[in-house]
Amino acid sequence: MDPEHERRNWSEVARHAKSAFAVILSLVILVGGGLFAYNKVSSAVTSAFAVEDYPGPGDKEVSIEIPQGSTVDEIGSILKDHDVIASTDAFDKAKTSFPNINQLQAGIYALKTKMPARDAIQAMLDAGVKGGRKFLIREGLRIGEQVTELSRQTAIPEDKYREVLPKGAEYGLSPLANGNPEGFLFPDTYEMSGNDPRAALKQMTANFNRKAGEVQLEAKAAQLKRNPRDLVIVASIIEAEVRRPEDRAKVARVLYNRLDSGMKLQLDTTVEYANNKPRGAGATTSDAERANPSPYNTYVHAGLPAGPIGAPGKQALEAAANPVPGNWKFFVAVNLDTGETLFADDFNGHQANVKKFQEWCQANPGKC
C-alpha cells in the first residue's frame, strides 16, 4: 500500500472520530441539560402542587363533634377549623387511601391537634369500627360542667347522670369523696359503649384511684400532716388558680403556709364556687360575694373549703402532694394574659405585687 495513501486514510479516520466525538459530546450536554432542567421544573411543579399537611404525631387532645348529616368534605373542614389537620387539601389527598371513608359517622371524637390527615381519618374510622364513643373531660370542670359534657359527648341525658351521681357505691366513688363526686371524677379521655351512665362514671372514678396511687396521695398527705382529702381540695384550688405549670407547687406551698399560720386562704376562686359563678368570671369578687356564708368561702371561714371546687388533673395533684420549699404566704397573678404570678413572704411585699396587677388592669381595660 502507498504510504502516502495510508497516512491520508488515518487522517480521515481521525477527522471523522473528532467529529463523532463532538456530536456525542453535544448530545450528552444537551441530554444532561435537559434532565437538569426537567428535574428543576419537576421539583418546582411538585412544590407548587404539594399539599400542606402536619408531620405528626399530634399535639394537644381535642374533642371534635361531627354533626348528624355531615358530608365527608364537611368533616374535613371541621377538622381543619379545629387545627386537627393542616388543610382540607391534605384531607382530600388522604381520603383516597380509604375505600371506607363514607363510613365516618356523626359523634364526638377524641383527636389531637396537628395530626397528619391520614392519621386523623384512621383514628375516626377506628373509633367507629370499635363501636365505642370517646369522650374528653378537661381539667378544672365542676361537677355540673362535667355532667353537661358527659351528656353531650355520650348522648346520655343529663338527668340520667344526675340520678346516678348520689349513688357513689354503684360507680366506685372514692371514700375520700364523702359521698360528693365533686373533684373525684378524673379528667381524661375515655371510651364507652351502651347507654348506662355508670359505665362512664366507673372509668372516671377508677382513673382517679389510679392517679391517687401514682402520686402516692396517702403517703404524701402523711408527710404533710394532712389527710388525703385535703390534698385533693388543695389540688382543685391549684387547678382553678394557676395557669403556668412552674407556679403550681409554689402555690401549694403558699396554701400550706397560710393554713399552718392560721391565716384565712381568702381565694376568689372559692368565692366564685360559693356563689355559683362561672369559673373565671372575673379577676375580682364583690364585697357581697365575699360575705357569702357558704362553707366553701375562704374569706369567711378559716381552713380549706368544705370540698374540692373542681376536678384536678394529675399535675395539680402532684403539686399538692409535693409543694416546693419556701416562705411565701401570698401570691397574685399580675398579667391575666400570660398568667404571670408573683409571690411574697409578707403583706407589704404582696401589696407591691397587687399594685403591679392594678397597673396591668389600668393598661388593659376590660380584662379585669
User: Per residue in 295-322, is it b (16+ CB within 10 Å) or e — as a string?
Assistant: ebbbbbbeebbbbbbbbbbbbbbbbbbb
Element of type H or E holding 246: none
> What pLDDT score was predicted for residue 193?
76
Q: What is the pTM of this model?
A: 0.69
> What pLDDT score was predicted for residue 106?
78
> What pLDDT score was predicted for residue 24?
52
> What pLDDT score was predicted for residue 131?
54
Of the listed ranges 18-32, 60-74, 268-282, 283-297, the one predicted with least confidence: 18-32
Higher local confidence (pLDDT), 241 or 105: 241
- State mean pLDDT over 314-327: 98
Of the listed ranges 7-21, 134-148, 198-212, the one predicted with least confidence: 7-21
* pLDDT bracket for residue 44 (50, 70, 90): very low
pLDDT surpassing 60 at residue 10: no
* pLDDT bracket for residue 243 (50, 70, 90): very high
Q: 171, 173, 144, 169: which is closest to 159 by C-alpha? A: 144
Q: 305, 198, 179, 195: which is closest to 241 by C-alpha? A: 305
The chain-wide mean pLDDT, for the chain, equals: 87
Go through the domains of the chain in sequence order and give each one's CATH number.
60-127 (3.30.1490.480), 133-214 (no CATH), 221-363 (no CATH)
Q: Which residues contact 320 (CB under 8 A, 6 or more apart)?
A: 231, 232, 234, 235, 238, 252, 312
> What pLDDT score was predicted for residue 348?
96
pLDDT surpassing 90 at residue 331: yes
- State mean pLDDT over 12-20: 49
pLDDT surpassing 60 at residue 82: yes
Cβ contact 99:159 at 8 Å:
no
